[in-house]
A and B are shown apart, each in its own frame.
Chain A
Amino acid sequence: MQVPAPFTYERAGSVDEALSLLGRYGPEARLVAGGHSLLPMMKLRLARPEALVDINGLAELDYIRVDGDHLAIGAMTRHAAVLESPLLSEHYRIFAEAERVIADPLVRNRGTVGGSLCQADPSEDLSAVFAALRGEVVIRSTGGVRRVPMREFHVGPYETAVGDGEILVEVRVPIRTSVGSAYEKVERRAGDWSIAAAGAFVVLDGDRISDVGLGITAVGAEHFTCAEAEAALVGAQPDDEAVEAAAAICASSCNPTVDQRGPEDYKRHLVSVLVARALRRSIAVARVGSSRGVED
């Protein structure tokens, strides 16, 4: 049996209590939500927190709701809830498409949105989804609340803007109309990390793309997106030429590492294929979307 190094365990009953526990144990404390990434790393002794603050009791952070012109998702929302949410599916099918290929049902029942983002694995899927949608995260500390755009959230692999004594409590995504979205992923096996995955949303204004977002994971894309490709698409006609050009920009601008999932040339090629597919399907959905922007 793989066993972790010694640590202290505390269970928080509220966000305030969790913050107080983080304050008490200092920088070597870690929050544990679903635990499906942190616990294996602890068992392999790659992570050695001195204290674990369990926030699974924080029902106050488990919600998916409309908040003004945004969708708000509580940090303790489980993957399974995102997958099954009619509200999210009504606005963005990218959520269900991404969740369907995240890990397996056991992990999705336990793993959380906030936990996934804060783990900040470079191959994580929701990072790409929220980057594509230009979401923002809400971070709380004893000093108050701050908001960080998703595209400034990741500081590096396994590193985020969430500082010591802070808790990510919510993720917010703007509601858009005439929008289509999609997620495409290739993995070696169900439950494996992506070799590469790409998500997109497209807003159409007549025969032009008026807004677009791209999310790319597992291949070292800066901030899990490709601003250059987005810029090339805005104002363009939603045709093969524009899609292929944007896909090519994504493929050349990402920084895939070579590993047993594939060599660099394959990963770049795969990015172009998946970005193009996600864009094409987003465009198709946006075209048939109703005036209030509900996906079909």
Chain B
Amino acid sequence: MTATETPSPDTLTSPAGNPLGFGRMLRKEDARFVRGQGHYVDDLVLPGMLHGAILRSSYAHAKIVSIDTSAAEAHPKVKAVITGKTLEGLNLAWMPTLSGDVVAVLATDKVRFQGQEVAFVIAEDEYSARDALELIEVEYEPLPAVVDARHALDPDAPVIRDDLEGRTDNHIYDWEAGDAAACDEVFANAEVVVAEDMIYPRVHPAPMETCGAVAHMDKVTGKLTIWTTTQAPHAHRTIYALVAGLPEQKIQVISPDIGGGFGNKVGIYPGYVLAIVGSIVTGVPVKWVEDRSENLMSTSFARDYHMHGEIAATRDGKILGLRVNVLADHGAFNGVAQPTKFPAGFFHVFTGSYDYPAAHCKVTAVYTNKALGGVAYACSFRITEAVYLVERMVNCLAFELGMDPAELRMKNLLRPEQFPYTSPTGWVYDSGNYPRALEEAMRIAGYDELRAEQAKRREEAAKPGADPSAPLMGIGISFFTEAVGAGPRKHMDILGLGMADGCELRLHPTGKAQLRLSVQTQGQGHETTFAQIVSHVIGIPPEDIEVIHGDTDNTPFGLGTYGSRSTPVSGAAAAVAAQRVKEKAKVIAAAALECSVEDLEWEHGRWYVKGDHAAGKTMAEIAMAAHSSLELPEGVEGHLDASVVYNPPNLTYPFGAYICVVDVDPQTGAVKVRRFIAVDDCGPRINPMIVEGQVHGGLADGVGMALMEVIAFDSDGNNLGGSFMDYLLPTSMECPSWELGETVTPSPHHPIGVKGVGESATVGSPPAVVNAVLDALQIRAADMPFTPAVTWRALQGRPIRPDLAIE
């Protein structure tokens, strides 16, 4: 059901059969991807290029006594071996993180997590580089590891960051939001208060392509070119300039085709810096590409939030307040990638989609002997954790009140007339019609029939002689509100760089266009979506618009693609640029038609004279005129282009209602997802096919996190999720045929009303699956992932803690 019709120009089609604007069309980039003709970092081969490999720590916490590289250096194909000592000489042993901390490029004093970078070998080929790693002798003095975040602040806990002056504990920060006093008052007087502990365990974005770089420092020109897997090429360029003291005009960051990012490719990893150092040292290009285990063990993880939630309500189910204490495990270095003023990301949007006055959260972050990261895996700056918290707490409340969770949600959802709505923690939700989305999801699901089936099954199961293996049916709901499109410059920056995006649109004389973007696609179809945005505004065919991105020398500045920000921010920039081109085209058309600008009217792709439809100029004709000898009015420059920096006035707030149906084998604990209904409202859909693809991917993420994905650690700090045999991603066998629906509530402040959808399903789906499993088990709480063992033990009342080794 589409509640608001898509704008009418988009019903027109181009000569190639594509929509002249919004609508379904095949992705332009797929012509190369489906032929295996994508070009990734690891495909790059340069003359004389050498290959790097990283020696990593096998210990989670150990003092480095000595490193002997002589045997590796003697390997006939090894060109150089770099250690922390080498880097200390260059003042590059440590580099700043995106959160004001420092992280070792190569360990000098201690290793602080298993998989940390210790040495870098550069050889003629990658086989030799790997062989030489085994020739390096490192003597370690093992130290006790801090593994359980809940004991990181114990007085006797080993101090991980003794590199930092005056450090005596593992505390990173305390941060809070909301009104604690108002919250306390509400809770003190509430009829019902329900408290629950939950872990959103450490997971990993696990993109198909691992991280890597090819660095080339040209000794003659002094220019550094780095081809690298980055979601944020411009940010990387500036950071390299700041870290290494290199002149920024001599740094070119090229991000070619990227095989998935999901937040994993935002930060700068030691491997990138080592490739650069390697090229400086050897004078030739150096390639470094990590393997799967390196990616899982050392690059940005996600989540790792230990949450204690409390929800207050009336006995008849009116929510009054929510408060939460979070213990955040940040690993050995605080390397979270998020806007500077938000150390816990956007977690404080945890009040969710409901109408209540009181909320407060306190977040305490700690160091542990684990890899760094924390904001990744399509999390929208920790809204994933926030949505999980509130949607689990609402279900816990429904459980205690004996209320249907759909009814409880419907009773408390924000009403359409409350928008724009200022939340208790200060967010201004732009637009929404929440009850309509939930009603639509319940309609598609046949919610009442599902509950009737469940009641009947439970009745059968209670009868004597009932089949003990009969599946337990569970129904779970999640309603999420996202806050994406970071963000307004006055509130949001990363390392002091404001989060506004540049964009340039240029029409060539023949009317074909180039659009230059700062954001970087990782597979989500920017080359198509952004062409459609421009087409929507100026009416030239999407196939005539080339989207250029991923090359800092050829695109304007911007902070990159993550947090579902591409369409909300750069999409707005593209729309505004197209609007400016359209207005400039009007002036040129008036000159060409020898009429006044006021006499012109627009039809999609063409300006014409009011009352004389035949007298008009298409965008292609106007483009040629703009480059011709046509005399233009005073003050109007030739050519047809526009340049924009878009500073978003607010975030956008996509939302959705998800319903999951599961069947649980009560004897084995195996969970089968029977159905999944997802109603998303991301405003108007530029390309519905791409939107659905994004949603499909995110729903699979949710099934993965709820049922199998976790990186646990044993008591020595060994990573128990270091390969795809141990870190399980869902396959099509675990995913049902997704049932999608939509409502359309445009954003009032976005030029084309769109809200972004890249992370909605990843954010929204895990609690729906978890709520369904717990509904099947008829228990209030247990922690994901619900592997068969975890599910069975939860049913036995002896739950397993997912973040530690199973005992």
Contacts and interface: CB of A to CB of B under 8 A. Distances in A.
Interface string B775-804: 000000000000111001100000010000
Interface in A161-197: 186, 188-193, 195
Contacts of A266: 669, 788-789, 792-793
Interface string A253-277: 0000011111100110110011001
Contacts of B670: 186
- Most chain B CB within 10 A, of A6, A189, A192, is at A189
Interface residues of B, number: 36
B71 to A, nearest CB: 15
A225 B178 CA distance: 60
A104 B725 CA distance: 13
Contacts of B789: 195, 261-263, 266-267
Nearest to B786: A188
A260 B731 contact: no
B34 to A, nearest CB: 18
A246 to B, nearest CB: 16
A191 to B, nearest CB: 6
Interface string B106-131: 00000000000000000000110011
A170 to B, nearest CB: 30
Contact of A1 (B291, B792, B806): B291
A191 B669 CA distance: 18
Contact of A263 (B668, B720, B723, B800): B800
Nearest to A188: B787
Interface residues of A, number: 30
Interface in A219-273: 258-263, 266-267, 269-270, 273
Given A2-B292, A258-B806, A273 B730 contact: no
B160 interface: no
B131 A6 contact: yes
A263 B805 contact: no
Contacts of A186: 668-670, 788
Contacts of A273: 469, 667-668
B731 A189 contact: yes
Interface string B733-756: 110000000000000000000000
Contact of B805 (A45, A189, A260, A270): A260
Nearest to A274: B668
Contact of A262 (B707, B712, B787): B787
B726 interface: yes
Nearest to A196: B668
Q: Is the interface of B mostly helix, strand, loop or mixed?
A: loop
Given A1-B291, A263-B800, A263-B806, A269 B792 contact: yes
Nearest to B289: A1
A269 B670 CA distance: 13
Contacts of B42: 1
B807 A3 contact: no
A2 B131 contact: no
Given A3-B130, A266-B789, A260 B708 contact: no
Given A188-B708, A262-B806, A3 B127 contact: yes
Given A258-B806, A262-B806, A266-B792, A188 B131 contact: no
Contacts of B730: 189
A69 B778 CA distance: 53
B731 A270 contact: no
Contact of A3 (B126, B712, B731): B126
A189 B668 contact: no
A6 B293 CA distance: 20
B708 A5 contact: no
B787 A261 contact: yes
B12 interface: no
B728 interface: yes
A29 B131 CA distance: 20
A3 B132 CA distance: 12
A3 B294 CA distance: 13
A259 B731 CA distance: 22
B807 A263 contact: yes
Contact of B728 (A3, A45, A104, A188): A188
Nearest to A262: B789
Given A188-B728, A273-B668, A258 B788 contact: no
B390 to A, nearest CB: 28
A261 B291 CA distance: 24
A195 B787 CA distance: 10
Interface in A93-124: 104
Nearest to B726: A260
A262 B669 CA distance: 11
A190 B292 contact: no
A97 B787 CA distance: 22
B41 to A, nearest CB: 12
- Most chain B CB within 10 A, of A6, A45, A266, A269, is at A266
A274 B730 CA distance: 23
Nearest to A195: B788
B731 A190 contact: yes
Contacts of A1: 42, 126, 289, 291
A258 to B, nearest CB: 6
- Most chain B CB within 10 A, of A263, A267, A277, is at A263
A1 B292 CA distance: 7
Nearest to A5: B131
Nearest to B791: A266
A260 B720 contact: yes
A40 B289 CA distance: 18
Contact of A259 (B126, B469, B668, B806): B806
B731 A104 contact: yes
Contacts of A188: 708, 728, 787-788
A143 B453 CA distance: 67
Nearest to B670: A186
A195 B134 CA distance: 34
A2 B291 contact: yes
A45 B789 CA distance: 31
B668 A270 contact: yes
Nearest to B788: A186
Nearest to B290: A1
B728 A189 contact: yes
Nearest to B133: A45
Nearest to B798: A265
A40 B708 CA distance: 22
A262 B788 contact: yes
A2 B127 CA distance: 9
Contacts of B127: 3, 6
A210 B558 CA distance: 76
Contacts of B707: 189
A190 to B, nearest CB: 4
Given A104-B731, A266-B669, A266-B792, A2 B293 contact: yes
A190 B733 contact: yes
Contacts of A192: 725, 728
Interface string A20-41: 0000000000000000000010
Given A2-B291, A190-B731, A260 B712 contact: yes
Interface in A65-79: none
A193 B291 CA distance: 22
Contacts of B725: 40, 192-193
A45 B291 CA distance: 13
A262 to B, nearest CB: 3
B73 to A, nearest CB: 19
- Most chain B CB within 10 A, of A1, A2, A195, A258, is at A1
A164 B728 CA distance: 36
6 contacts: A5-B134, A188-B728, A189-B730, A270-B788, A273-B667, A277-B469
Interface of A: 1-3, 5-6, 40, 44-45, 104, 186, 188-193, 195, 258-263, 266-267, 269-270, 273-274, 277
Which 7 A-B pairs have CB atoms at the shortest separation, nearest pair first?
A262-B789, A190-B733, A2-B291, A266-B789, A273-B667, A189-B728, A188-B787
Given A192-B728, A273-B667, 7 more contacts: A190-B734, A195-B789, A260-B712, A261-B787, A262-B787, A263-B793, A266-B788
